[in-house]
Amino acid sequence: MPAQARIVLVWGLLILVMAVLNTVMAQSVTPELQRAEVLSAVAAVSLLLVAALWTRADPRSAARQELGGEQGLVLASDLSDSVRDELGWGSHMLLTATAASTVLVYWEGTVLLRRGLISDGDFHPGTICRRVMQKNNSVSLVSTALFPGRGEFDPVLDALPSVLICPLGGDGVVVIGGWSERCFSRSDERWAEGWAVRLRTALQGMHSVADGPVPPV
């Protein structure tokens, strides 16, 4: 529980205890006392509710889990310098500025990048990733234990507690594994989505350069 939430919780409990003691020690029950007790009870319950919601809203309150794999970086060999730079910069920022433990980029049937904690599993998009690519919408699995299709992410890293999947159009995805359940904040999700758009543009540009100009007829 965050320190601020603990302070609010203590004040809520203190007000509740004082209200009960005030009622017990009162010589007589008057309308004024009843109104005061109702107001103090409402205030105490409100503070307790704020403390509970504050704890739920804290994205990093869950303890970091011990995950397998080894720290590493694996890049596909046939990438342009600009795409390699983009992959390196973006993955580094995700691993250092968010709660990401591992990053995988899949594009047109090939895994272009593994970084962070990595394994040697053979990753292929499953039902969840295919839905992300088809609908072009990100999906955040805040607790993979609640999703029956979580096994498709085991080749990324075994037993990931949370996963964020961002589409690269209909041709690929960025899979980001978290250190714990509910570890990605909304700002983390938006940052990852923005980088996925930028990365897709770079990858499509590389594809256009590889195809070369269309010869005149």
Angle at the Cα of 169 from the Cα atoms of 168 and 171, rounded to 5 degrees: 80
200 within 8 A of 169, measured Cβ to Cβ: yes
- 18 within a domain of the structure (yes/no): yes
Q: In a 3-state reduction of DSSP, which class is residue 169?
A: coil
pLDDT of residue 215: 43
- Domain shared by 43 and 96, yes or no: no
Is residue 217 domain-resident?
A: no
Identify whether 103 is part of a domain.
yes
Q: Which residues pair with 141 in a beta bridge?
A: 163
Contact between 71 and 194 under an 8 Å Cβ cutoff? The reply is: no
Beta strands in the chain (DSSP E): 70-75, 100-107, 110-118, 139-141, 163-167, 172-178
Q: Determine the Cα–Cα distance for residues 204 and 8; give it in Å rounded to an integer.
A: 51
What pLDDT is attached to residue 209?
Answer: 53
What pLDDT score does 216 carry?
Answer: 43
Q: Which domain holds residue 137?
A: 70-211
Same domain, 116 and 23: no
Residues 148, 185: one domain? yes
Same domain, 96 and 143: yes
- Examine the domain organization and report whether 53 and 74 are in the same domain: no
- Tell me the two tokens of residue 128: 């969840």
pLDDT tens-digit series, residues 23-41: 777 777 777 777 777 888 7
Residue type, 58: D
- Quote the pLDDT of residue 89: 95
**Pair (40, 92) in one structural domain:** no
pLDDT, residue 214, reads: 39
Collect all residues with Cβ–Cβ distance below 8 Å to 190 and sequence separation of at least 6: none
**Residue spans of the chain under pLDDT 50:** 59, 61, 213-217
Q: Does residue 45 share a domain with residue 125?
A: no
Q: Are residues 174 and 99 in the same domain?
A: yes
Q: CATH number of the domain at 123, please.
A: 3.30.450.40
Residue 76 tokens read as 């596909």
- Please report the DSSP string for 99-142 in residue order: SEEEEEEEETTEEEEEEEEE--------HHHHHHHHHT--EEES
- Residues 109, 20 share a domain: no
Instruction: Please tell me the total count of domains within the chain.
Output: 2
pLDDT of residue 117: 95
Are 75 and 52 in the same domain?
no
